Chain A
Amino acid sequence: MTALNDLPNRAPAADQSRAPIELIRDLESTSGYWAAVWTMCTLPDVHLICDAPIGCFNLVATAVPDYTDAIPHIHNITPSVMREQEVTLLGTAGAVRRAVEALRSLHPDKTLIVVSTAESEMISSDHSDWLSKLDPPVPFFWSQSLEGDEWEGRDRALLWLWDRFGRKRAAPLSANDAQMVNIIGPTYGCFNSPADLHEVKRLIEGAGGKVNLVYPFEATLEDTPRLSRGAVNVVMYREFGEALAKELGRPYLFAPLGIRETTEFIQQLGDLLGTRAQADAFIAREKQTTLAPLWDLWRGPQGDWFATTEFAVVAGRSYTEGLVRLLADELGMKLHFASGRPRRLGEMDNIQIRETLHKKQPAFLFGSLNEKIYLTEAQAKATHFIPAAFPGAVVRRALGTPFMGYSGVVYIVQEMVNRYYDLVFNFLPFDNVAAAGQPKAADNPLTAASRLVWSEAARAQLDRHLEGIPWISRISASRELRAQVEVYAIKHNLREVTPDIVEQALAATATQR
């Protein structure tokens, strides 16, 4: 949060009593309206009417999901299509009514739900009253789009669905349901959820459970009452979903990320389901199978560089805390910084993350498209960016890319080792060939460079420049920077390299780039 204290004098006078204006860069979380669409539209027997202009509809239903996890444009949503006349004159009740009537005749079997948007809330289009008087009544979801964020929005949407379509018809837990487990949370717009969900199901079954309902991702609205049949609930994300789990009144666990947490998850689930022996046997088997690659990498040469490699994370709370646990606490990598979403007090916002990344970049950055842009601005060539959050154009519907569970541990470490290999390859000397496969001219001015004298201060100056570069890339970077300085010195007929020359040389090279 950046408090605004440098408004220029010519600006309209700011009322002192008003709260400071919070500034945002490159938003990483969206609104309650988007949360409602991405939660409710997963239910195939629902059709949403969003009280919105074209843009609000198109972005959430087509433009963004088409390029994120390659969710096809969302079919079961219709906008009221606010135009100027609705905003300024008529209000949107007429447009919503027409949509309700049309959709009722087109989809008699579906449950219509009207959802508010920021714009409809702005013009105070509250349709709850008249919609409730229709026969049958149409539920209205006030998405509180102007307040809260997408995590709160999903929490509210899930609770609302349970309250409205589940609670009253819920059957009490029967003896047959003792091993039943619900998974709460996967919706559209949850990064990498197909692979994580696949892994979590595998862990539940390994621990002796049976998956009852994946809500809402693999459920229908009609299924909602069946949530009561879960003996245990697994909440996929720490960002949201816990509120519904609490409301259901059964024990719940969070989906695990990291070695220890996954082990504890399986054990606790075994305890809750009365299948502890099966859970322990599963863990033992996993160490020999799924997890074996990690043990081998740990013992191999690849394991050594963890200790000297820095990483940073900007992602949802589950991923941020999970990756810090796995990479820093368990594998011993160096944490540059971490900032979870929703953001907690003291965690960096995008403005601060941007400034931090402009100054110094880690070797690995888990993040969203925003961080990728900040790395680009900093021309950070030695940093590996690994997508770990939305927003961002990423396709992750293959089941083999989990971050969660034991499979996630292996996948993440495997990806990092592969990128490390890449990094090493890219920084190996490549001096004998110029562009397009042509042999390089032999008259390299650096052959004479050995006669150059470096002052102690100049050497220190070079080191300072290297500090901003991730550790594994420093050897080759130091070679590169040194060469740049020496070529510059030779071109200027100098015999000694001083701090001034280092600065001039690096500045000149930067300009050429």
Chain B
Amino acid sequence: MASLTVPEGNLITPEIIQTRSKSSVSDLQSRTGHSVSPDYNLTPQTMCPAFGSLRVLTRIDGVQTAMVTDTGCLYGLTFVTHFYAARKSIAAPAFGTKELVAGNVAEAAIAACIEASKMPGTKLVAAISLCVAETAGLTEEMLPKQINGVDVILVRVPAYAIHSHPEAKDVAINALLKRYAPAQTEITADGVERPLTYDGSNEEEEALRRKVIMLGEVFPADPISVDAVLKRLGSGLAATLPSRNLDDYKLARRVGAIAAVHPFYGGSVATLRAAGVPIISGAPVGPEATYNWIKAVAAALKLDGELAEQVAAEERDKCKAIISQFPLRGRVMVCGYEGNELLYARLLVEAGAEVPYISTSIQKSLYTAADEAWLKARGTREIIYQKTLEQDVRALDRYQPDLVLGTTPLSAEAKQRGIPGMYYTNMLSVRPLFLSAGLAGTIQLIRDALERAPRYAWMREFFEGPRPPAPAGPAPINTMD
């Protein structure tokens, strides 16, 4: 066993194997008093990465998708897209051995694009190239830029190279930005190419320059409350990306700043930054981050500093008032695959909850650093990037949480142990999060979930019998010291 060598990033680690072999199934069973599936092993935890791109693209009005892949993948992705993303029919070429042997990958992709472009009102066809097509070698040059007057873009999201569902959203948006908001450059007198700057001669353009585009998939009520706050600063929200409106992507280089509220839009941020658009990171979640975020926007846009201080302080105080009225008590594990887990954890911590463990499917990056430092300074013991299900399940043993916000298998495991559990994606992404308005709703949801604990215990006991006396398990961890 010790001789196993594991390439970096591979999810089967010797550590996992050793832990599992040391604490055998029967061992676990006697500790927890019920059957722990012996099969929670060696299973990574993220939605198929490509779905991130599909979700973003199928939701845009006037965009039709053509998926270039094998039937198994196509079946699964069509299912989740129809269920989670949009009620939009999806075109594809048949893509099996016959087609691969014939080598007409590009022709097949083009044929599907033509079919996709037939829908009335189509403005853009996104050809989504997945594992098998990528392996067969479908390149950008093989696709025409337009078919029958409809724009065509290639979005390359093989699951073996894009490691998480949120990061595939970034790939899709970046592809749109590159096509719809191309860098406008000018050559200066000394022959240097630099981003074209606005000269202030157009009023509409001037107004846009004072506005912000928010980059991050958020609940529809959030942009409304953010816009209201920004308006008080003399600014406003020009759009939120991903947007359902293709035109919104065209604004991306014309606004005063981009607020990247989620940390995984690395590619899009790099594209925009290279074009000279200022980037604001972090998000207005919880009192402190809300205060900082509003001030950061004002600074990036060079708005009135005193006014910004006043608005930021007011919003922070509203948040604090809500928290003092409805404080959270309890230990919560935050384990999603959406990439915004650190934001939620910040909010919960500021509201009084203990969040010892956070895990996400995205990679650690420059954009996660600030939140990570903040959380670690406030009692978070572990933050796991590109996590596996095994790591999350072991954390359940270690931290004995009162509530689990997790992926489906993890939430199921929590419920099986009689612990309240909620599927992170379904329950949290469907309500506002930002500013004081988002704070109130989120806290209420978490409080309700914590209060439902007896039902989870009752249900567990009904199905799995009474619990044996508690074993001498790991000592409770006080993370608030």
Would B42 and A103 count as touching, CB distance under 8 A? yes
Minimal Cβ-Cβ distance residue in A for B157? A55
Q: Is A53 an interface residue (CB 8 A)?
A: yes
A8 and B148 contacting across the interface, CB-CB below 8 Å? yes
Q: Does B401 contact A (CB under 8 A)?
A: no
Encode A81-100 as 1/0 by CB contact (under 8 A) with B. 11111110010001100110
B41 touching A103 by the CB < 8 A rule?
A: yes
Binary interface profile of B, 64-105, with partner A (CB < 8 Å = 1, else 0)? 000001111111111110110001111111111111101010
Inter-chain contact B10/A23, CB cutoff 8 Å:
no
B135 interface contact, C-beta 8 A: yes
A81 to chain B, nearest CB (A): 5
Is the Cβ of A4 less than 8 Å from the Cβ of B73?
no
Q: Which of B87, B90, B408 contacts A25 (CB 8 A)?
A: B90
CA distance A501 to B99 in the complex (A): 52
Contact of B44 among A26, A29, A33, A54 (CB under 8 A): A54
Write the nearest CB–CB distance from B316 to chain A, whole angstroms. 39
Q: Is the CB of B104 within 8 A of A15?
A: yes
| Contact assessment for B111 and A21 in the assembled complex, using a CB-CB cutoff below 8 Å | yes
A-side contacts of B98, CB under 8 Å: 19, 147
CA distance A54 to B79 in the complex (A): 17
Which residue from chain A places its CB closest to the CB of B110 in the assembled complex? A11
Q: How far is the CB of A55 from chain B (nearest CB, A)?
A: 3
Closest Cβ of chain A to B250, distance in Å, is 25
Asked if B185 is at the interface of the complex by the 8 Å CB criterion, the answer is: no
Determine how close the nearest CB of chain A comes to the CB of B375; give it in whole angstroms: 26
Question: Which A-chain residue is minimally distant from B108 (CB atoms)?
Answer: A21
**Least distance between A507 CB and chain B CB atoms (Å):** 15
What distance in Å separates the Cβ of A52 from its nearest Cβ neighbour in chain B? 9
Q: Which residue of B lies closest to A351 (CB)?
A: B115
- Are A22 and B83 in contact, with the CB atoms below 8 A? no
Min CB gap B127→A, angstroms: 12
Q: Which residues of B contact A61 (CB under 8 A)?
A: 43
Are A53 and B159 closer than 8 Å at their CB atoms? Answer: yes
Interface residue stretch chosen among B1-9, B170-178, B186-194, B301-309: B1-9
Verify if B358 is at the interface (C-beta below 8 Å from A): no
Query: Please, which residues of chain A bring their CB within 8 A of the CB of B132?
Result: 118-119, 122, 146
Which A residues are CB-close (under 8 A) to B79? 59, 63-64, 67, 369, 391-393
Q: Which of A112-150 contact B (CB under 8 A)?
A: 117-119, 121-123, 145-147, 149-150
Q: Which of A1-23 contact B (CB under 8 A)?
A: 2, 4, 6-8, 10-12, 14-15, 18-19, 21-23
Q: What mask results when residues 24 to 49 of chain B are scored 1 for a CB within 8 Å of chain A, else 0?
A: 00000000000001111111111111
Give chain B residues whose Cβ lies under 8 Å from the Cβ of A376. 87
B104 touches A14 (CB 8 A): yes
By the criterion CB–CB under 8 Å, are A23 and B96 in contact?
Answer: no
Contacts of B93 in A (CB 8 A): 21-24
Measured between alpha carbons, how far is A56 from B131 in the docked complex, in Å? Answer: 9
In the complex with contacts A73-B412, A374-B89, A122-B135 CB distance below 8 A: yes
**Are B73 and A118 within 8 A (Cβ)?**
yes
Give the chain B neighbours of A121 by CB distance below 8 A: 97
Cβ of A11: which chain B residues have Cβ within 8 Å of it? 106-107, 110, 144, 147
CB of A307 closer than 8 Å to a CB of B: no
Closest residue of chain B to A44 (Cβ to Cβ) is B39
Q: For A202, list chain B residues within 8 Å (CB).
A: none
- Chain B 42-59, CB-CB to A under 8 Å as 1, else 0, gives 111111111100000000
Mark B residues whose CB is within 8 Å of A.
1, 4, 6-7, 9-12, 16-17, 20-21, 37-51, 69-80, 82-83, 87-100, 102, 104, 106-108, 110-112, 114-115, 130-132, 135-136, 142, 144, 147-148, 158-161, 163, 408-409, 412
9 contacts between A and B (CB under 8 A): A19-B102, A27-B74, A56-B131, A78-B41, A79-B44, A81-B12, A84-B160, A121-B97, A146-B95
Closest 4 CB pairs of A and B: A59-B76, A55-B48, A31-B72, A55-B159
